[in-house]
Structure 1
Amino acid sequence: MSDAALNQEKEQLLEDVRQVLSSTEDLLGAASDEGGEKGRELRKRLGENIKLAKARLLEAEKLVVGKAKVAARATDDYVHENPWKSIGIAAGVGFLLGMLVSRR
């Protein structure tokens, strides 16, 4: 899956969660004003919206974890295929960070 497709899916999931939470806030406001049967119905819908939001957040978490695993695997493969380049890059980054820290 490409980065663009992952970003699009992530944005869609976040938008879905925002919509569910907005709807839940509206229901919560209406439920606090209502009693009786209508209040019970609003609270039921509120519970359903919260379950939906949790499910969407779990989907987003799976997406992020999956992407992190792919990145970690690619990094691991690169380091195993190019150990000396990796050591050189790490040394260069360490040198630059050392220079930046010593200037302060």
Structure 2
Amino acid sequence: MYADISATEDADNATPKEQLMEDLRAVVTDAEALLHATASQSGEGVASARARIKESLYTAKERLATAEAALVERTRQAARVTNEYVHENPWKAVGIGTCVGVIIGMLIARR
């Protein structure tokens, strides 16, 4: 029904981004199977394809939610670290901001 066991084991070792992409590919594959099943068959073939699509969508949504939660947490952590650095080193932060502004200004002026 699904890909062989080695593909499942590879998916377990992949990064969340890669897993999400594999899930989305599976959803597309199952959607194509549904289209083919509805064009030529009725009954059991259509029900089987719909069940696979439903399962694939559920898995993709779960992994997407997990990836989103991890991204939000990493963003919050980066914001906390940046905030602490700026409070501990305000003049360094001003200097870095000034340098970035000068570089961006020079790049804009070259155009």
TM > 0.5: yes
Q: 1:66 to 1:16 in 2, by over 3 A?
A: farther
Counterpart residue identity of residue 71, structure 2: V
> Which of 51, 76, 81 is equivalent to 1:44?
51
Q: Determine the C-alpha separation between the residues in 2 that align with 1:45 and 1:14.
A: 16
User: Structure 1 stretch 75-84 or stretch 50-59: which is displaced more?
Assistant: 50-59
CA RMSD in angstroms comes to 2.2
5+ residue gaps, structure 1, are: 1-7
1:97 shift after superposition: 1.2
> Would you say how many aligned residue pairs link Structure 1 and Structure 2?
97
Aligned to 1:57: 64
5+ residue gaps, structure 2, are: 1-13
Aligned to 2:37: 31
Work out the percentage of aligned pairs sharing the same amino acid: 37
> The residue matched to 2:76 in structure 1 has which SS?
helix
C-alpha contact (below 8 Å) 1:10/1:63 kept by paired residues: no
User: Structure 1 stretch 92-101 or stretch 30-39: which is displaced more?
Assistant: 30-39
Counterpart residue identity of residue 43, structure 1: R
C-alpha contact (below 8 Å) 2:33/2:49 kept by paired residues: yes
Aligned to 1:102: 109
TM-score for both structures, normalised by structure 1: 0.73
Q: 1:31 to 1:58 in 2, by over 3 A?
A: farther
Aligned to 1:76: 83
Aligned to 1:92: 99
C-alpha contact (below 8 Å) 1:20/1:49 kept by paired residues: yes
Moved over 6 A (4+): none
> The residue matched to 1:35 in structure 2 has which SS?
coil
1:82 shift after superposition: 0.6
